[in-house]
Structures are given as structure tokens and as C-alpha cells.
Amino acid sequence: MGSDAWVLVVVVVVALCFDLMNGFHDGCNAVSTVIYTGALKPRVAIAISAAFNFLGPLIMGVAVAKTIGGVISAQDATAHLVVAALLGALLWDVLTWIWALPVSSSHALVGGLVGAGLAALGPAGIHWNKLILVFASLFVSPFLGILAGFLFMWASRLILKKIRLDIDRADKFYKYMQVVSSSWVSFSHGSNDATKVMGIIAIFLAADKGLSVNQYIKAHGFPLWVILSCAGAMAVGTYLSVRSFRLIRTLGEKITHLHPVNGFSAEVGGALIIQVASIFGLPVSTTHVVTSAVTGTGMAMGFRSVSWKVFRAIMLAWVVTLPFCAVAAALLYFASSLVF
């Protein structure tokens, strides 16, 4: 195997490790509410989530991958840049899993890409118009998540009131509905998050040919092996989350008390936002959207129903994510450049 082939193997392995950790870290987004409301047993919920995470990118396409691939000048990207970006993001995912904080792997990946890109290429190597689009979608989506969770919960309560059915009596119906809504969250998560890693791999493949990502895709198509491997890694990582309930507990019991109607409202609102974003190629954070949607359902029950202390801790981690990953990726790039 030639040196170029070995470099490709290293880049792909690191990318798939991040993708697997992304599934492990963010798998709780789709299953925490459905587990804590008793709609599904943990192993069943996580197995269903893994399956739909795999199907998401296969069915929805690679629009988000093209957006992520356009953030930096791919023609000038190196293996050092790509690996540093991925490792910076991976480090943050591991740390926040230890701290049981549901943060955005998307923010982490974008932060790592920007930090390594600036270190390797300077400001001229960043496509700022694309980056602003990414930042805008990542920033706006949590507010949309709160709004969607609030509105769906408010509408559900209104309907229950009209038909004179209290929340406790409605639990049985909403438990069945949650199977559908949580599956939708998993599908939308795979369609958005797995394709981001595809975009990172596409940057390296395009750089090897001296092309931009769009030029590479136009000339060679999007490699099927990249799509299948990233979808598979995301699914495996999601399934492995059955081994740890650290983040599932945070979303399931620490933000607000969950009835099945809360879980259904948060999942439908979150999945709708993520799915629309995937269609338009906008990278959003499933963690931010679903966590915000859960908070929105709590707000619909009354502001005192939300644990604002927990929500503030999560928000602080969100703010720190991007700069931490950018600095970590830049340092990793400089270190790898000195060693190799």
C-alpha cells in the first residue's frame, strides 16, 4: 500500500471514530424522552434509533456534506488539517460525555474545522460566506427548538382540554405516538449529523485531486463507500449508547418532568426542524434542537416546570464548545506538523 493510501486510511479511521462518538454522544437525543416516559424499553429504543440513524443519510442525501465541505478551501487542505479538526472535536465530545453535558457535536466539528483551517491556511483559507451560513443555522436552531416544543405542547394540551382528556389518561396514546416521533428524530439526526463527517472526508478526497468539494463531487460523484461507512459508524455509536445513561439521564429527568405528551411534542418539534434543515443543506445541532424542544415543553407547563440551573449549565457548555474545539484543533495541527 502506497503512502497516499495509508494517509487516506488514517483520515477515514479518525473520521469514523468521531462519527462513532457522535452517535454514542448524541444517541440520547432521540431515546431519552421515550425511555423516561416508559414508551419503550432502553435496549429496544436504542436499537430502533440506531437503525433509523443508518437510514437517514442513505435516504436524505448529502446536501449537508456539501455545505460543511465548502467551509474551507479544500484544494489546499492536508491530512494534518483534517485529522486535527476531527481530533479537536472528538476531545470535546469525550470530555462532555464524562461531564454528562448534552452538547453539540456539530459545533465541535465546525469549531475544529475552523481552528485547524485558520492554523493551516490563514483567514484566506476560510470561505466566510459559507461559515456565516453555518453559524446562523447553528445559532437560530435552538430558539426554533424552544418555540417548536412550546407550540406543540401548547397545542397538545389545548386538544386534550377540548376533548376533556387529562394528561394522565392521554399517556397511553402518546406512548404509542412516541415510538413514531422518536424514530423520526433518529432519522433526522442521521440525515444531518452523519453527513457532516462525510463532508470532512470529502474535503480530503477533493484536496488529493486539487479540487474544491463541489468540483470533486461533480467530476467523481459522492463515493458510496463514504456514505455507507459514515452511516454505519453513526448507527454503531448510537447502539453503543445503551452502555451509558449519563446523557440520557440529563435530558430525560433533569430539565423538566416528562409525560409522554412532553416527549412526543419535543420529538416532533425537534425532528421537523432538523429534517427541514437537512433538505436545505443546513447543518444544525440535534442536541441543541432536541434539548431546547424539551425545555420548550416544560415552559408550556409553566416556567417553574423547567430546571433553569441545569439548562444554564448546558448553555454554558454550548458557548464554550466552538472556541474550545477551534483552539484544540489549531494546537493539534501545529503539534502534528512538528512531529510529522
Along the 340 residues of the chain, how does pLDDT read in single tens digits?
445 778 889 999 999 999 999 888 776 667 777 777 778 888 888 899 999 999 999 999 889 998 898 899 888 888 999 999 999 999 998 888 887 776 778 888 999 999 999 999 999 999 999 889 888 888 888 889 889 999 998 998 888 888 877 767 788 888 888 889 989 999 998 998 889 899 999 999 998 888 989 899 999 999 999 999 999 999 999 888 766 665 555 554 555 567 788 888 888 999 999 999 999 998 888 877 887 888 888 887 777 767 666 666 666 767 788 899 999 999 999 998 877 6
Question: What φ, ψ does residue 256 adopt, rounded to 5°?
Answer: -155, 160
Distance, C-alpha 259 to centroid of its chain? 25
Domains in the chain, number: 1
Rounded to whole angstroms, how far apart are CA atoms 138 and 319? 12
**Which structural domain range is residue 230 located in?**
3-339
* Residue 86 CB-density burial (10 A; 0-12 exposed, 13-18 middle, 19+ buried): buried
The number of beta carbons lying within 10 Å of the beta carbon of residue 219 is 10
Nine cell digits for residue 6: 495509508
The number of beta carbons lying within 10 Å of the beta carbon of residue 135 is 16
Distance, C-alpha 101 to centroid of its chain? 14
β-partners of residue 256 are 306
Q: How far is CA 209 from CA 75, 196, 220, 225, in A?
A: 8, 20, 10, 18
Rounded to whole angstroms, how far apart are CA atoms 174 and 63? 33
